[in-house]
Amino acid sequence: MQTLVTLRQLGIAVDENNANPDGWITINAPHRADTNPSFAININHGGWTDNGTRESGDIYSLVQLVNPGMNFPEAKAFVDGKGAKKKLQMKQSNYFGDLNSPFWTDGRKSTLASAQERLEKANDSKILKDLLNYDGLTKETLQHFECGLVNWEFVPDQPVVTLLIPYPTGAQLYARGKDGKMIQMFTGSKPAESFFGASKIKKNKELIICKSPREAMIAQQKLGDRFDCVGICSGESDKLSEQQSSFLKAKVKYYKRVFVCFDRDTIPAEEIAFGFARKVCDAIGTLKRDVRLSNIGKLTQNECKDLTDLFKSSHKSKVLELFSENSFEFSEYIWNSWTEEYRFWDVTEKGALAINEVKFARVLGKFGFKKSYFAEADEPTLVQDIDNILHNVSSHQLSDFVLDEILEKLSKYVDIALLGDTEKLIPLNNLQKVFFKYRDKVLSNQIKAIFRQKPIKIMTDSPTEGFLFFKNGTVKVTKDSLEVLPYEQIPSKIWKSQIMPRTFSETAPSGTCDLEVFVENVASQDPAKKRSFMSALGYLLHSYKNKANSPAIILIDEKSSPNMAQGGTGKSLFAQSIKHIRNQRYMAGKNVDPSSKFFFMDAQMGDQSLFFDDVKHDFDFEALFNVITDDMQIEAKYKNRFTIPFELSPKIILATNSVVQGFGNSFKRRQFTLPFSDHYLKNPVPQAEFGRKLFDDWDDEEWARYDHFMIRCLQLYLEDGLVKFPTDHFLVRTLTVNTSPDFYDWADTNLETGVEYSANVLFDGLDKISNGSNPSKVSPTDSNGNKFPCFSDVSNELMNGEFRTFMDWLRQFASYKQWQLGERLSNGYKVVKFTKK
């Protein structure tokens, strides 16, 4: 029933009672002249077949066929009922097919009407005799094409009776004088914007485009209703205007073939003819219609150069050979520019097609396909580069690209085979069959072998600049400026995955970003701490890496303790705020083993940060030492190992509910720790606080605030680097985790700078320096000579005599106090002294 409703809305009358049991009925074609019904349509599902043109389709394509210019969404809306009550308003055509352009004012139409009346009354006029003798045109043909007669001065003060030839965007004036043809354009005419005869086409099966209006008229007069004939009004040219191209796109579906009849008697004329024919082919390429360039010279042994000559010659009986359906002897098949430019095959001696891999690689290279050995990988990677944007391409994607983006746009015939004295056109479907046989190679890694290796420079930030990537371009950020650059202007390549799926607004909206308020909360509303958090975000946004200072960002709860982990303070939300502007890889921290060779197996080229969420309390941070300061080795199961160079490797973020263990300069210079306040343990979670989910529920304005906040973070980092977190009791807890609470209390109460201590006396009160074999028990003393207890007197934690552990704790205490610990031997035993740095 819906199909019948759609047909009626299209103005197609069908009697469902005449349909066969399967629902098919044959009617006159609704879009072209059709004296004998040749259009089959199925009233059940809307499928159709045009037996006249051998085309077929579904109900949506039928709607588009009857409504030239309608796109698929509009056709679908029409069929689905959104356009069924009233026919969709179509976009106005940008071409003129009738005398309705601005040129044809009421005054000019009146002039044309008077000229037509004069032609009607003229019988023995000299101009009519000239037109019949020189051009073969009859008065009836002139009247059919709405011509007329006027007086015109080609030479000042010498008026002559002139033929007025109208076309949609102007009028041509034609007469013959003693020196031959005289042609002028009516003032205001735009001959390049339309075709003569456009209003007279009858939707026949063949279209002829002639070099002039007179050639179009004589062709129509001599060839009859089998052909529709139009003419160029501006003289032979290899150009096709946008309006002419639009006209052809709208009308050519009525035709099986299009013939171009231009002069070809000289090399320049030949070039113009082929150029114009190819432009026609390009304009209608997706419709896969034959476009042919007639060769009148060849037909007449070079006696004639155009149709006018031909019809006056002894060869006129052969004229239909120019337009033969099955022979290309006197009309060369024209393939479109696409076929000419993207030819990747050869023709064998037997007339078969064979893919030429050198040409194939060159054609794919024009679309940006290339291979490169990224990150010193053993196997090359196939990528596509479009305006400096790279994305990985699988062999399946490459095959689909060739089928959908290259083969689909080729002409109906793609080449010519020379078999002896015979020329044979090779159809596109032959090439498609050849490619399907070749596809096995495309779908294997062997396809990479046809490409030459191309070194590809991946774009990275510089020490003073950062580059952020959005849909509308690259944002170049310095410490005090920002600038949006088109991708084609950036100096090197980026990965498509690095581009954020939104447009950057150079103007920051008013108001404070949700994320900035969140940062203030986790920073205890302390401006100094907020700067530290912001500098960390800026550091993670800045892809430049310095081996001397590219620490991992450690996110920890400010009030965590050795025996209690908190969580829920906003660490993960903070870490993942980066992924909305930089490419980030998430790793579940509890499931990773840093000692495994597959530890980084999920990392990929283009990742700019790795976020290890909720790592275990015994996480071996030392296992990250090499990747923090050197290249990153990536090894995944059943895949080739590859290396991401240090300068391209991602920065590392660790979120933990426990203090990351480790002590010494090697640990310290590889870590930048951010303690999170307990704000979100005491207050509503962010979603409740802001009344929406961060990121998920943001509108465009809030995203713009976020972008500008993050840029401020980046600018802060470019200006000041990583801003040290203010010293507070978090550092005390870090020390107590790495040593013990008893040790911290004892050391902080008693130890001071400028005093030499016997390490053994500090540890257990034994004065081994004085008597190593039988040391006496003494108490350490401070700078004033006051005695204080040794550590063993206040704690049982090192009762097994772990003196080395005690010495390590002293070094950590010195680091916490930002002191230096001097160590020397006296009688073979340690003497220590703390000094200020």
* DSSP symbols for 757-772: EEHHHHHHSEETTT-S
Task: Examine the domain organization and report whether 310 and 348 are in the same domain.
Answer: no
In a domain, 779, yes or no: yes
CA–CA gap between residue 416 and residue 398 (Å, rounded)? 27
Q: Are 180 and 231 in contact (CB under 8 A)?
A: no
Domain endpoint, select from 281, 312, 333: 333
Distance from CA of residue 523 to its chain's centroid?
A: 40
In a domain, 460, yes or no: no
Task: Examine the domain organization and report whether 773 and 710 are in the same domain.
Answer: no
Task: Examine the domain organization and report whether 144 and 287 are in the same domain.
Answer: yes
Instruction: Render pLDDT for 807-831 as a digit per residue (tens, 0 to 9).
Output: 999 999 998 888 999 999 988 889 9
Q: Are 593 and 558 in contact (CB under 8 A)?
A: no
**Averaged pLDDT, 758-779:** 89
Output phi, psi for 317, to 5 deg. Answer: -70, -15
Q: Are 753 and 836 in contact (CB under 8 A)?
A: yes
Q: Are 634 and 642 in contact (CB under 8 A)?
A: yes
Count CB neighbours of 703 within 10 A: 20
Instruction: Render pLDDT for 20-44 as a digit per residue (tens, 0 to 9).
Output: 888 888 887 777 666 677 788 888 8
In a domain, 101, yes or no: no
91, pLDDT greater than 60: no
Higher pLDDT, 214 or 685: 214
Range with the poorest average pLDDT among 130-144, 146-160, 186-200, 619-633: 619-633
Domain endpoint, select from 333, 359, 392: 333
CA–CA gap between residue 489 and residue 658 (Å, rounded)? 46
Burial call 74-97: b when 16+ CB within 10 Å, e when fewer: bbeebbeeebbeeebeeeeeebbb
Using a pLDDT cut of 70, give the percent of the chain over it: 90
Q: Is the dihedral of CA 165, 192, 184, 232 positive or negative?
A: negative
Contacts for 574 with CB less than 8 Å, ≥ 6 apart: 518, 519, 522, 533, 555, 674, 676
Output phi, psi for 20, to 5 deg. Answer: -75, 175
| Amino acid in the structure at residue 326 | N
Strand-pairing partners, residue 545, are none
**Averaged pLDDT, 92-110:** 85
In a domain, 749, yes or no: yes
282, pLDDT greater than 80: yes
Task: Write the CATH number for 69.
Answer: 3.90.580.10
Range with the poorest average pLDDT among 108-112, 313-317, 455-459, 519-523: 455-459
In a domain, 561, yes or no: yes
Q: Are 244 and 192 in contact (CB under 8 A)?
A: yes
CA–CA gap between residue 796 and residue 732 (Å, rounded)? 21
Per DSSP bridges, beta strands 481-485 and 381-386 are unpaired
Task: Examine the domain organization and report whether 153 and 288 are in the same domain.
Answer: yes
Structure confidence at residue 666 (pLDDT): 63
Task: Examine the domain organization and report whether 348 and 316 are in the same domain.
Answer: no
Provide the residue range defining the domain that includes 67.
2-79
Task: Examine the domain organization and report whether 214 and 308 are in the same domain.
Answer: yes
Q: Is the dihedral of CA 591, 595, 599, 605 positive or negative?
A: positive
517, pLDDT greater than 70: yes
- Looking at the structure of the chain, the number of domains it has is 5
In this structure, what token pair is assigned to residue 308? 């006018």
From the number of C-beta atoms within 10 Å of its C-beta (0-12, 13-18, 19+), residue 504 rates as buried
Q: Are 255 and 283 in contact (CB under 8 A)?
A: no
Structure confidence at residue 627 (pLDDT): 75
CA–CA gap between residue 385 and residue 440 (Å, rounded)? 24
Task: Examine the domain organization and report whether 352 and 245 are in the same domain.
Answer: no
87, pLDDT greater than 50: no
Task: Examine the domain organization and report whether 669 and 760 are in the same domain.
Answer: no
**Averaged pLDDT, 726-745:** 79
Q: What is the mean pLDDT of the chain?
A: 85
CA–CA gap between residue 5 and residue 36 (Å, rounded)? 25
Most confident of 111-120, 343-352, 718-727: 111-120
Structure confidence at residue 184 (pLDDT): 94
Structure confidence at residue 84 (pLDDT): 41
In a domain, 493, yes or no: no
Structure confidence at residue 268 (pLDDT): 92
CA–CA gap between residue 350 and residue 680 (Å, rounded)? 79
Task: Write the CATH number for 159.
Answer: 3.40.1360.10
Task: Examine the domain organization and report whether 359 and 396 are in the same domain.
Answer: yes
| Amino acid in the structure at residue 813 | F
In a domain, 461, yes or no: no
**Averaged pLDDT, 250-271:** 89
Strand-pairing partners, residue 290, are 257
From the number of C-beta atoms within 10 Å of its C-beta (0-12, 13-18, 19+), residue 548 rates as exposed
CA–CA gap between residue 41 and residue 47 (Å, rounded)? 6
Task: Examine the domain organization and report whether 134 and 269 are in the same domain.
Answer: yes
Instruction: Render pLDDT for 492-512 as a digit per residue (tens, 0 to 9).
Output: 998 888 899 999 999 889 999
In a domain, 725, yes or no: no
Count CB neighbours of 760 within 10 A: 22
391, 446, 385, 371: which is closest to 604 by C-alpha?
A: 391
Q: Are 160 and 152 in contact (CB under 8 A)?
A: yes
Instruction: Render pLDDT for 432-448 as a digit per residue (tens, 0 to 9).
Output: 999 988 888 777 767 77
Task: Write the CATH number for 581.
Answer: 3.40.50.300
Structure confidence at residue 88 (pLDDT): 41
Task: Examine the domain organization and report whether 237 and 192 are in the same domain.
Answer: yes
Domain endpoint, select from 333, 362, 390: 333
Task: Examine the domain organization and report whether 531 and 411 are in the same domain.
Answer: no
From the number of C-beta atoms within 10 Å of its C-beta (0-12, 13-18, 19+), residue 807 rates as middle
